Structure 1
Amino acid sequence: MTGEGERRRHGGRPGRGDRRSRGGRRGPARDLARTTAFDVLRAVDERDAYANLLLPHLIRERRLSARDAGLATELAYGTLRGMGTYDAIIAACSDRPPERLDPPLLDALRIGAHQLLRTRVPAHAAVGTTVDLVRLRLGAGPSRYANAVLRKIATRSLAEWLPIVAPDPEEDAVGNLAVSHSHPRWIVSALKDALHAAGPSPDAGKEIAALLEADNERPKVTLVARPGRATAEELIAAGAEPAAYSPYAAYLPDGDPAGIAAVAEGRAAVQDEASQMVALALTRVPVEGGDARWLDMCAGPGGKAALLDGLARERGARLIAADAQYHRARLVWNATREAKVITADGTAPAWRPAAFDRVMLDAPCTGLGALRRRPEARWRRDPASLPELTSLQRRLLRSALEAVRPGGVVAYVTCSPHIAETRVVVEDVLKDAAGDAGHEVLDARAFLPEVDDLGPGPYAQFWPHRHGTDAMFLALLRRGASAG
């Protein structure tokens, strides 16, 4: 890897190995799709960037054509999703383990492996373009190394590589799933446990494999028509397709959501359908007495708040949307229309007790239910973070139950199916409630009649492989009359 360190110190600028990119011929500097995907992977690694935020920005900034934008998206997201599998295969084809390779070289090899193993790019083109990319960014020595590794990878298909690099499923079923479906081992175990808790399956092995595979599929774009500002029918007339569950949703089969007028004007937005449905479920629970004061306690970035805001206005109610971080509260303010938006920590609330009729608590969580949308999240999360997160979730749920009046309703929501973040949090908070508070756990499924297969109750659990949505968890709690 001669010259590799020098290349990195100079920010990856073209050197002698890049002369052909300066002439009139098409060279690696003009391969905008692959260089953009590479830059996204480097940003994810170096500064914890979010691919779903950075990639659209780079596509616009670099003015990629529709074709190049599509390829860059496939390479960036596909590589991030498949990274665990690709690293195992790279290890089998390299003279050193992936963790000892220079990170930029490893990212380029991952992009090359993705092209070879999961796209229709011809093998010679996948190898050649990746080698060009390495030569452009890292130099001639690393490009020769990349060429040797990628040529070995190209000798077998993905189906042929997996039995070689994945553990024997009879001896280590979790390890086999982790490598075959590119998930950290601890996440495979957590999802397997969550599936079991959500109800027995006739073939648990096939179901966990189906869930992991669904995490690796590119999700459909789901739109939400904000009540009072747009309708699903308007979105469908603009080219979207009818949705399965939410009366405010529509699916966009292809194209840029901003090309739809309602989205460009802020009257509609992109929002997962399960996210819409858990908000709707909260509004469907009957409450006796007043129903004028609603709270979204951890509202940023504002998707659920915008939907609740529209529904509240239709009923003559008023939503207060709060978030502990100012920049997230600003996003909520941009998304909503008439909600009062404040910066406030839900664990040290700025409102008086028993002030609200309905409370939405979309708690901070590991995000294991949205891995298909945030492909890098699976590699960032660490089980060591769970105790701190679940402690925060408990404090927030206690605060939510204090914020709602007796007879009012709290929706506890996580975009994670992890048992420790879902039912365990709810059950622990109810168990620890001072005295006999009389809080009631409602059967959340009763308020989602459009959706089947949500589990045994009383909680509702959405799944990517069952519902085509994020793995969203919902518990509905009615505050007891004797509480407080």
Structure 2
Amino acid sequence: MAAVHRDDAYANLVLPKMLRERGLRGRDAAFATELTYGTLRLTGTLDAIIAAAADRDMARIDPPVRDALRLGAYQLLRTRVAPHGAASTTVDLVRAVAPGAVGFANAVLRRVGEQDWDSWIDRLAPADGTDPVRRLALEHAHPAWIVRAIGDALRADVDETARALAADNEAPPVQLTARPGLVTAAELAEQVGGEVGRYSPYAVYLPGGAPGDIPAIRQGRAHVQDEGSQLVATALANAPVDGRDERWLDLCAGPGGKAGLLGAIAAQRGARLTAVEVTPHRAELVENATRNLPVTVVTADGRDVGAIEELPEQGFDRVLVDAPCTGLGALRRRPESRWRRQPTDLPPLTGLQRELLGAAIRAVRPGGVVAYVTCSPHLVETDVGVTEACRRSEHPVDLLDARALLPGDVPDLGGGPSVQLWPHRHGTDAMFLAVLRRGE
């Protein structure tokens, strides 16, 4: 918690290392993970409750004490830990980090425990319909601006917005990609004791354990990847193109998951993939993820298509733009990210997204296709961005019906032509997909 709040660390990176260093395994490791991830996900609402119980702004509470109180409040309100156990261990923690605040912490925790979670939400945001955004924000622990963004994408359906927010608070399953031509999903599922995915022909749901211990992953025959990412990459591969189909491009390839899947599909078709990544260390990750596949990794800015030495004279046949975005579609995977993102992050990101899509349209040949993907349902990063990029394009483009390009029978895709996947509908990250064909 201190590493996340003090050092801007990512919990999914630092926690496993801490568990190993301290020798925590089994139930102890699972409990530590639940406390950490759960507290980080619900930080905004926990802070509102603690501030009310303490009758002071959270900014006036020392950071170590804040973190301890968050852990204590989470145990009191969201777990089956006995109240006296949650309170006493939290007070002991405060005694270790700030001895002078023991009495204060004890009093705050006592007040927090006087009401359950739902009662606190009713107190802080009455369910009278006067402020539904604040109610949803507190009940499901999301910043209000994210609640509005998700609500806008769901056509202001309050009930479905609540389901989407609730899904962000559920720990996602680990999903694997069986690389075509190297292992089938059925074979991989049998090897790992998992289950074949519902929609992607390459998906396997892992029941538990460390993915890094799986031989197929160590051997490059499979990799960890959300099923939504598999679906959008497969849709690009499924899109019909006019004429040749030999040269593919991934314009923002790091860290390499989609490049790995596309590279495996390309190998089966006698095609080659050029994977562009602007950051050297991420380009190295792409190299590792695509080893032994027909993939050439280029370290360059995807917006500068002319600098790509691998650019075919006639242009690429298929282009993927997996654009940098707010990541609002993967909040369930990054417990602290919802509190780090701000509305001010949008303008530079949306500008970059439109520039990248414009570069992709320039890089694809007439008759070729472009898949524009974001892991965000925010409308300015999805449909609005695609519409604006198409309007500004110097080349004619047509939007294809992306629904027809997805493998399997994926339900609840709306009216098209773009696709928005959702955790609460599809069990995937909230991936957005638009597919464009360049005209002459």
In the superposition, the TM-score normalised over structure 2's length comes to 0.95
Alignment correspondent of 1:233? 186
The DSSP-based 3-state class of the residue aligned with 2:24 is coil
Q: How many corresponding residue pairs? A: 432
Alignment correspondent of 2:411? 452
Tell me how far 1:221 sits from its aligned partner: 1.2
The DSSP-based 3-state class of the residue aligned with 1:246 is coil
Alignment correspondent of 1:463? 422
Please give the alpha-carbon distance, in whole angstroms, between the structure 2 residues aligned to 1:83 and 1:176. 15
Instruction: Work out whether 1:340 is the aligned partner of 2:300.
Output: no
Alignment correspondent of 1:188? 147
Please give the alpha-carbon distance, in whole angstroms, between the structure 1 residues aligned to 2:8 and 2:110. 31
Alignment of 1:63-102 (within 5 A): 63-102=23-62
**1:326–1:169 Cα change, 3 Å:** farther
What do residues 396-416 of structure 1 show as CA deviations (whole Å, max 9, x unaligned)? 000000111110010000000
Please give the alpha-carbon distance, in whole angstroms, between the structure 2 residues aligned to 1:367 and 1:281. 20
Contact 2:361–2:393, Cα closer than 8 Å, also in 1? no
1:158 to 117, 132, 135: 117
The DSSP-based 3-state class of the residue aligned with 1:286 is coil
Alignment correspondent of 2:433? 474
Instruction: Work out whether 1:222 is the aligned partner of 2:182.
Output: no
Instruction: Work out whether 1:410 is the aligned partner of 2:364.
Output: no
Contact 1:167–1:175, Cα closer than 8 Å, also in 2? no
1:303 aligned partner, one-letter code = G
1:176 aligned partner, one-letter code = R
Instruction: Work out whether 1:170 is the aligned partner of 2:129.
Output: yes
Contact 2:248–2:316, Cα closer than 8 Å, also in 1? yes
What do residues 271-311 of structure 1 show as CA deviations (whole Å, max 9, x unaligned)? 11000000000000111211111111101011101101101
The DSSP-based 3-state class of the residue aligned with 1:458 is coil
Contact 1:415–1:473, Cα closer than 8 Å, also in 2? yes
2:164 aligned partner, one-letter code = L
1:61 to 21, 25, 30: 21
RMSD: 1.4
Instruction: Work out whether 1:269 is the aligned partner of 2:223.
Output: yes
Please give the alpha-carbon distance, in whole angstroms, between the structure 1 residues aligned to 2:419 and 2:55. 48
Alignment correspondent of 2:161? 208
Please give the alpha-carbon distance, in whole angstroms, between the structure 2 residues aligned to 1:167 and 1:383. 26
Alignment of 1:63-462 (within 5 A): 63-136=23-96, 138-196=97-155, 204-237=157-190, 238-337=192-291, 338=293, 339-349=295-305, 350-351=307-308, 352=311, 354-434=314-394, 437-448=395-406, 449-462=408-421
Please give the alpha-carbon distance, in whole angstroms, between the structure 1 residues aligned to 2:234 and 2:380. 25
The DSSP-based 3-state class of the residue aligned with 2:176 is strand
The DSSP-based 3-state class of the residue aligned with 2:59 is helix
Question: Where do 5+ consecutive residues of structure 2 fail to align?
Answer: none
What do residues 8-28 of structure 1 show as CA deviations (whole Å, max 9, x unaligned)? xxxxxxxxxxxxxxxxxxxxx
The DSSP-based 3-state class of the residue aligned with 1:346 is coil
Please give the alpha-carbon distance, in whole angstroms, between the structure 1 residues aligned to 2:220 and 2:436. 32
Contact 1:454–1:462, Cα closer than 8 Å, also in 2? yes
Please give the alpha-carbon distance, in whole angstroms, between the structure 2 residues aligned to 1:328 and 1:459. 29
Please give the alpha-carbon distance, in whole angstroms, between the structure 1 residues aligned to 2:187 and 2:94. 47
Please give the alpha-carbon distance, in whole angstroms, between the structure 2 residues aligned to 1:194 and 1:395. 23
Contact 2:370–2:435, Cα closer than 8 Å, also in 1? yes
Please give the alpha-carbon distance, in whole angstroms, between the structure 2 residues aligned to 1:381 and 1:245. 31
What do residues 452-473 of structure 1 show as CA deviations (whole Å, max 9, x unaligned)? 1112100000011111111000
Tell me how far 1:120 sits from its aligned partner: 1.3
The percentage of counterpart residues that share the same residue type is: 59
What do residues 359-415 of structure 1 show as CA deviations (whole Å, max 9, x unaligned)? 010000000000000111111111112111111111000000011111001000000
Please give the alpha-carbon distance, in whole angstroms, between the structure 2 residues aligned to 1:265 and 1:63. 28
Contact 2:46–2:73, Cα closer than 8 Å, also in 1? yes
Please give the alpha-carbon distance, in whole angstroms, between the structure 1 residues aligned to 2:350 and 2:178. 33
2:281 aligned partner, one-letter code = H
Contact 1:394–1:429, Cα closer than 8 Å, also in 2? yes
Please give the alpha-carbon distance, in whole angstroms, between the structure 2 residues aligned to 1:143 and 1:234. 56
The DSSP-based 3-state class of the residue aligned with 2:249 is strand
Alignment correspondent of 2:2? 42
1:317 aligned partner, one-letter code = A
**1:445–1:145 Cα change, 3 Å:** same
Please give the alpha-carbon distance, in whole angstroms, between the structure 1 residues aligned to 2:223 and 2:378. 28
What do residues 201-230 of structure 1 show as CA deviations (whole Å, max 9, x unaligned)? 8xx111011011001111111111122333
Which deviates more, 351-360 or 168-177? 351-360
Please give the alpha-carbon distance, in whole angstroms, between the structure 1 residues aligned to 2:405 and 2:141. 35
What do residues 236-271 of structure 1 show as CA deviations (whole Å, max 9, x unaligned)? 212111211111111112222233321343422221
Tell me how far 1:166 sits from its aligned partner: 2.1
Moved over 3 A (4+): none
In the superposition, the TM-score normalised over structure 1's length comes to 0.87
2:355 aligned partner, one-letter code = R
The DSSP-based 3-state class of the residue aligned with 2:9 is coil
Please give the alpha-carbon distance, in whole angstroms, between the structure 2 residues aligned to 1:114 and 1:222. 28
The DSSP-based 3-state class of the residue aligned with 1:149 is helix
Please give the alpha-carbon distance, in whole angstroms, between the structure 2 residues aligned to 1:366 and 1:292. 33
Contact 1:169–1:175, Cα closer than 8 Å, also in 2? no
Please give the alpha-carbon distance, in whole angstroms, between the structure 1 residues aligned to 2:359 and 2:175. 32
2:298 aligned partner, one-letter code = I
